[in-house]
Every structure is written in structure tokens, then in C-alpha cells.
Amino acid sequence: MPMMKAVTFRDFGGPDMLQATEVQRPEPGPSDVLVKIHAAGICYHDVLSRAGKIPRDKPGQILGHEIAGEIAAVGSDVSPERIGERVVIYQRLSCGTCRYCLGGRHDLCRNSRVLGENGGGGYAEFTCVPARNTIAIPDGLDMTTAALAVCPIGTCVRATLGVAQAGPSDKVLITGAGGGLGLHQIQVAKSVKAHVIAVTSSEEKVDIIKQAGADDVIISPDLKFSKDVWRLTEKQGVDIVLENVVTGTFGESLRSTAQNAIVVVLGNIGTQPVAVDPGLVIVRRIRIAGSGNATYADVHRALHLLSIGAVKPFIGQVLRFPEVGQGHALMEQKAVVGRVVLNGW
């Protein structure tokens, strides 16, 4: 059995648990493809998995689901013409037969899991996935950039254009705007000519938020920003809120809304319940919606936005695969702006 380089974690714990090793290279089944991995992003989901904060995960696995690479081999049911194709991998391994999958909403499949949760992830030279999970990378788009198309950028496309359906006349409020999601949400919203109001608790992040394209930036260390939103919108409120923080911000976000606004929840940094004023929700007809993984259509749109330069990924650090522990530490310490991407051994 051929071997490959990989990074695994021997036990739950700190970044030092991650170690470079050699493992057996997977072999594609009839409907699978073998992908030679060129670049892999580090998602905070990986950090939580390694720390043992996702109950279904087990030590010894190969993490990582933000993957770009090249098809190196195919199963018997896959056209050999796909060998050599540059692809990103759709991160959710779904059943393909339920009503959600058949309707193009693979992100809702109840019989699915995220690649890397139980091994087979991107911190390796190769991975095997169903052929349907691979999506062609447009010509001219480099692998390091493309690796972020499915998770951070595709997630932003799903929330901003899929769930909220932002358009040119909309005012969009983004909390946690200086984070990995927020910086890309700004660009996705601006790609459809929306007006973006960004909220950050850190004055140090103002320049990069402006660089991403925000029209207005509110610095709010105490997270009491609704009055500033009302001032900036001439007491009309915003049409869309993209909530990346929730804990400590949700009430202010609701108070910042216009009539018939939508509040899209993507994160919950404090992982705590929050209070909701039902009277405010009723009077303003506020819609509250959750959003998560991208659909295949969202990924295609994300790749298009990247290929035309409408969205430029914020990559704070590029490391070699054996340095993945350093990448995890940087993310835990919030010592990097944007994504950490692995590239090369």
C-alpha cells in the first residue's frame, strides 16, 4: 500500500498535539477521485476539533476541509478525462439521495458530515472524495486562493446572497467585521452594490475593514452600536444584519433594523443563549434566519467572484503543512488577520 505525508493529532489538546507523520494513501472507490492536495486552509472548526470541543471527533484523524488540489486518479465509474483537473472540494459529504440533496441543498442533508471530522481531511498529500464533491477551479485562479472558496467565502455567499438576498438598495450591517467571515462578507455585499456598515470592537482593525470596502465603520468597544447605526441611516435602520458575534451584540443588532429586515446568524462566539425582545421582532416584522455551509451553487459563485477579483481573500499567513501547529496557535491567540493557509511540505 503506498504511503503519504500527513499531519495528525495524537490526542486532544493544544497545537503541539499536531504532528507530521506518514500514513497509508487512500485509494479511490468506483465513484471516487484521488486528489493531490496543493493548498489547505485552517478553519476554526479544525481548532475546535483538535481541542476536543466537537464531541463526535476522535484523535488520530487528519483534519482540514478547505482544500484545493489536482485530481490524480479516478475510480472505475469516473471519466479518466478528469485526471489532471484542478478542483476545490465541497466540504460536506452528503448522501446525494435525500430531498435536500436532490433539491440542491446538500448543506441541509441530515445524513452528512464535514470532511476531516472523521479523518480523510486536507492536512495531507492526498485525499479521496466522491467525484461529485469536486468542483473545477477557473483558469488563472491560484490554488492558495481557491482553497478558501468553499468554506469562508462560500459561507459568506450563502448568508449574504442566498439567505439575505442582498441587492443594490440594501443597507447591510456586519458585526465582527474584522474577522475572517466579516472581511469577506463586506466584499460579497459590495459585489452587488449594497451599502455596508461594519462594526468592530477594535480600533486596530479599522484600516483593514476599510480596505475590504466597508462604506462606514463603527468602533464600539462596549458593543452598544445601534445609536450609531440609526445616525448613519438617518433613523431608517438597516435591511440586513450579518451576525458573526451574537453574544453581546444580538440585542443591538435587532435594534438596528429597519422594518421587515432580516438578521442572519452565522456565529455565536460566546456559545451562550441570548435574549430576544419578541415585541421588537413583531413590530418591525424582523426575520431571524440561520446560515451555514455553502451550496454547490454558492461555491460556483464564490469561485467566479474570486476569479474576477470582486472578492480578494484575506490570507494572514501561508505556512508549510508540517507547521500547521503554528497556524492553530496563531488562530487561537487571534494573532492573525484572515485565514492561515497550508501550502507545500
Residue % of the chain over a pLDDT of 90: 81
Tell me whether domains 3-148+313-342 and 153-290 share a fold.
Answer: yes
Report pLDDT digits (tens) over 147-203: 999 999 999 999 999 999 999 989 999 999 988 899 999 999 999 999 999 999 888
Cα first-last separation, the chain:
21
Report pLDDT digits (tens) over 201-215: 888 899 999 999 999
pTM over 0.85: yes
Q: What is the mean pLDDT of residues 254-264?
A: 97
Per-domain residue ranges of the chain? 3-148+313-342, 153-290
Among 3.90.180.10, 1.20.120.1200, 3.30.70.20, 3.40.50.2020, what is the CATH number of 153-290? 3.90.180.10
Among 3.90.180.10, 3.40.50.970, 3.40.50.300, 3.30.70.2860, what is the CATH number of 3-148+313-342? 3.90.180.10
Distance CA 329, CA 334 (A): 8
Residue of 309, 295, 39, 337 lying closest to 157 (CA atoms): 295
How high is the pLDDT of residue 72?
97
